[in-house]
Amino acid sequence: MINNDATRKSDSCVMIIFGATGDLTKRKLYPALYYLARDGYLPSNFAVIGVGRQEMSSEDFKKKIGDDLKDFIGDGYDQSLLDWFSERTYYTGGDFDDDKALFGDIKDLLEMVTEKHSIPANFFFYMAIPPSLFADVTHKICKNGLAEESNGLWRRFIFEKPFGRDISSAKQLNADLLKILTEKQIYRIDHYLGKETVQNILVFRFGNSIFEPIWNRNFIDHVQITVAEDLGVEQRAGYYDKAGALRDMVPNHIFQLVTLTAMEPPVSFEADAVRDEQAKILQAIQAYSPEDVLNKTVRGQYDSGEIEGKPVPAYRTENGVPETSETETYAALKLSIDNWRWAGVPFYIRTGKRLERKHTSILIQFKQAPFVLFRDTPVERLTTNRIVLHIQPDEGITLHFGAKVPGPLVSMGSVDMDFDYADHFGETISTGYERLLYDCMLGDATLFQRADMVESSWRIVSPVLDVWDAIPARSFPNYNSGSWGPPEADELLERDGRKWKNDIE
Ligand code: BG6
């Protein structure tokens, strides 16, 4: 449930992180645990066991975690909290393929840790490992009797994205996991749902009375969702070159934004009530025929260019990227949601790396008011209203409307009304993972993806991938770093008489 009691603490439990020496543990998971502990949301009886391929002693792992936390938090770190974590952090390493040695060690360690810290055997396993290992590692955990829930004890599993690479692999993965776990034990994480501004979409829409009556095809002309990044592929070419922008961002993060923007009000904030409504939107998104893929989707790959005055290299010359790579680093799609509320209202979505700046927003463009009244005035065009939900950075909401320019003539100017999160609520430092880890400990799956949602998302994206795979992208690279993407993406909207809004701050 979203409206949970702020003072509610989870049952005492142990978190077991697979992939504990990786980047996610360092940049997100431990910092999130630190902030949860600081704010009093972790149970007092709590421990973490890191598991990785690397052999390392618990002492060395504790030291690494302590150093990483100091780096992350900077000067203001709280030594007593670091000591608290150090007392309850453990590590074991080994070969994930060997179901006896490593998994036997994990079992022994869990026995020791639960006894030492007086923790009932509630476990949550965090799979920060490649998706190809999800089913096998989970299977080994089950084989060692660590996944069985009995006597009121719980066993939960969080799986990082990507959850599959297409519709068939996602179905296979769901089927494999559901042979050994129940759906209630599975938490498919999407870190966008941990963002306050993303959670606020529901509160904004359904906690106010003035927006919902106009939130439909009678008033809205179209919706634009932009998830732009200025960073390139960084050190992740191994993963990214096989995934591409579409798989990496669309069936997960962007579809979360689409469903929360488009869904009907749920009957309650219970996990399945919210997810049922999101799932209905995914089911209503029209599937693409091969011809639609050619007309309604655009892909791009970045060339060299400049970002904030600094030269940056082309994707094909980045570390680990093949010189002839055809992987897209940009994707734009026109989606049609075939239901009563949204018929005829296109949702244009785009995402890309090395774009002009980091910027994620949802823009709701309203229809124009009738011009009739202004025919005999100097006003040439009316301002069209829009609401922009600024997801990140500079989180906030803007309402754009027209106002009379003071003076004797009727003249119209475009103005903005702005709400800024930081001004109203102060800056909150978080990784976005706090809420998700906390919810998993409480057994609340509202902000996690259900099996059917993952499969519906792939149903939409897979036909696009099939056509893109079959037809080589001859024009790559087709946009300069530091631009807003390939010209074809502009044409996608121009054909409908519309334009991307790039200048929103
Ligand atoms: C990840 C993608 O899931 O999300 C990355 O794999 C992307 O490629 C990142 O950079 C974006 O997340 P955020 O929170 O920075 O918008």
Tens digit of each residue's pLDDT (9 = 90 or more) over 31-76:
999 999 999 999 989 999 999 999 999 999 999 999 999 999 998 8
Q: Which atom of ligand 1 is nearest to the CA of 161?
A: 3
CA-nearest residue for atom 13, ligand 1, is 192
Q: What is the pLDDT of residue 253?
A: 96
pTM score: 0.93
CA atoms of 437 and 32, how far apart (whole Å): 8
Q: Contact, 448 vs 193, CB < 8 A?
A: yes
Region of poorest pLDDT, from 219-233, 283-297, 325-339, 372-386 = 372-386
Q: pLDDT category, 24, cuts 50, 70, 90?
A: very high
Closest C-alpha to 243, from 161, 159, 319: 161
Share of the chain above pLDDT 90, in %: 87
The yes-or-no answer on residue 253 being catalytic is: yes
Cis peptide before 162 (omega within 30 of 0): yes
Q: What is the pLDDT of residue 235?
A: 87
Q: pLDDT category, 505, cuts 50, 70, 90?
A: low
326 lines ligand 1 (CB under 6 A): no
Query: What are the tens digits of pLDDT across the range 345-358?
Result: 999 999 999 999 99
Query: What are the tens digits of pLDDT across the range 135-192?
Result: 999 999 999 999 999 999 999 999 999 899 999 999 999 999 999 999 999 999 999 9
CA-nearest residue for atom 8, ligand 1, is 248
Q: How many CB atoms lie within 10 A of CB 420?
A: 13
Catalytic residue among 253, 359, 390, 400: 253
Q: Contact, 505 vs 356, CB < 8 A?
A: no
229 lines ligand 1 (CB under 6 A): yes
248 lines ligand 1 (CB under 6 A): yes
Q: How many CB atoms lie within 10 A of CB 100?
A: 11
Q: Residue 146: which residues within 8 A CB-CB, separation 6 or more?
A: 103, 106, 107, 110, 123, 155
Q: Which atom of ligand 1 is nearest to the CA of 253?
A: 3
Spacing, Cα 351 to ligand 1 middle (Å):
10
CA atoms of 193 and 404, how far apart (whole Å): 40
Exposed e or buried b for every residue in 254-291, given b needs 16+ CB within 10 A?
bbbbbbbbbbeebeeeebeebbbbbbbbbebbeebeee
Q: Residue 299: which residues within 8 A CB-CB, separation 6 or more?
A: 245, 246, 328, 330, 331, 468, 473, 486
What are the beta bridge partners of residue 334? 348
Task: State the angle between helix axes of 101-116 and 134-143 in degrees (0 to 180), rounded to the nearest 10.
Answer: 60
Q: Which atom of ligand 1 is nearest to the CA of 195?
A: 14
